[in-house]
């Protein structure tokens, strides 16, 4: 019988990483000098998640998908993605600005033989005073203007900059230029892809190699959506004790659950796994068969498609992201 699964955290040190993964989320990333990202649910080659607890402890996520198929991920999901788990969940600590970057969509990624495209979303968990991020352009931009701005080192003049506060959501479809700004701790939900085209890296030099990181300006040109949009921040109702939809895309649906009372969630209408991501507070997830798992801020659980109902028992106020494939 499948049960809510937790996985061993995969830690990533980054040139821009900091200490909040340990200081705020309580995750020990030693002996790494910093931690920029934790990969919590991953089927990226070379970084496949391993079950942390229960009778399936030690099994990889890929092994589970191959063995349980639709029972784990949902028949619709399995028919669409086969043995590849379609979502990647991370926590990101930006102690410095990340690179200005863009990700390809599925069509371009397939043409370049780099797997899936990368549509993603961010949920801001903690923000230092004045923290900002980039999502998209601040006006309509042509491809020619973009190429000139990269060559002239004036690309930052074209970027839409947003202030960011805890609880803010930003949805970033593939093709949108973006970067996470210094001072932000966030949860990221994305397609299973590690394909990033760096456009500008603020002329940083790696302390170990003494070299600047590789840029992919030529690859980025055809990946970018050059349109301008009126609002780049995702608007949603911040209600208490209700499930509120924040993102509904072709690749994932994400609801925000701000709860301070016990609630039962029925997933019989969803032909998909569900990932519950605790972004504030703590809770216990109770599943049929007497199985339960506790989550604190910065922890996740994967609810298999065969588990129809779970009961969420908050320990005071908690916020959970509930995400699945539509």
Q: Which of 139, 198, 204, 213 is catalytic?
A: 198
3-class SS string, the chain: CCCCECECCEEECCCCCECHHHHCCCCCCCCCCCECEEEEECEECCEECEECCCCCCCCEHHHHHHHHCHHHHCHHHHHHHCCCCCEEEEEEEECCCCCEEECCCHHHHHHCCCCCCCCEEEEEEEECCCCEEEEEECCCCCHHHHHHHHHHCCHHHHEEEEECCCCCEEEECCCCCEEECCCEEEEEEEECCCCCEEEECCCCECCCCCCECCCCHHHHHCCCCCCCCCCCCECCCCCCCCEEEEEECCCCEEEEEEECCCEEEECCCCCCCEEEEEEECEEEEEEHHHEEEEEECCEEEEECCCCCEEEEEECCCEEEEEEECC
How far apart, in whole angstroms, are the C-alpha atoms of residue 228 and residue 116?
A: 25
Active site residue 62: no
Catalytically active residues are 198
């Amino acid at each position: 019988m499948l049960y809510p699964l937790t996985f061993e955290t995969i830690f990533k040190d980054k040139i821009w990483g900091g200490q909040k993964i340990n200081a705020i989320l309580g995750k020990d990333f030693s002996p790494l000098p910093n931690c920029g990202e934790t990969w919590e649910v991953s089927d990226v080659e070379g970084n496949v998640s391993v079950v942390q607890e229960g009778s399936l402890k030690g099994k990889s996520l890929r092994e589970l998908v191959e063995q349980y198929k639709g029972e784990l991920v949902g028949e619709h999901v399995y028919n669409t993605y086969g043995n590849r788990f379609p979502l990647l969940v991370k926590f990101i600590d930006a102690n410095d600005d990340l690179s200005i970057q863009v990700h390809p969509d599925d069509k371009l990624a397939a043409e370049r033989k780099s797997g899936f495209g990368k549509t993603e979303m961010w949920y801001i968990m903690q923000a230092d005073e004045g923290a900002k991020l980039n999502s998209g352009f601040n006006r309509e931009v042509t491809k020619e203007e973009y190429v000139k701005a990269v060559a002239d080192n004036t690309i930052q003049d074209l970027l839409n900059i947003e202030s960011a506060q805890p609880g803010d959501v930003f949805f970033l479809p593939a093709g949108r230029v973006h970067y996470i700004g210094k001072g932000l701790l966030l949860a990221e939900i994305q397609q299973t892809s590690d394909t990033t085209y760096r456009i500008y890296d603020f002329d940083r030099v790696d302390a170990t190699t003494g070299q600047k990181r590789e840029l992919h300006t030529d690859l980025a040109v055809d990946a970018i959506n050059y349109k301008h949009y009126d609002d780049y921040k995702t608007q949603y109702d911040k209600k208490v004790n209700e499930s509120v939809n924040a993102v509904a895309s072709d690749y994932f649906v994400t609801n925000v659950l701000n709860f301070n009372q016990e609630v039962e969630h029925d997933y019989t209408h969803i032909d998909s796994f569900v990932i519950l991501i605790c972004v504030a507070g703590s809770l216990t997830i109770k599943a049929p068969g007497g199985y339960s798992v506790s989550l604190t801020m910065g922890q996740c659980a994967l609810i298999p498609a065969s588990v129809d109902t779970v009961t969420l028992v908050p320990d005071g106020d908690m916020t959970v992201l509930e995400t699945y494939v539509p």
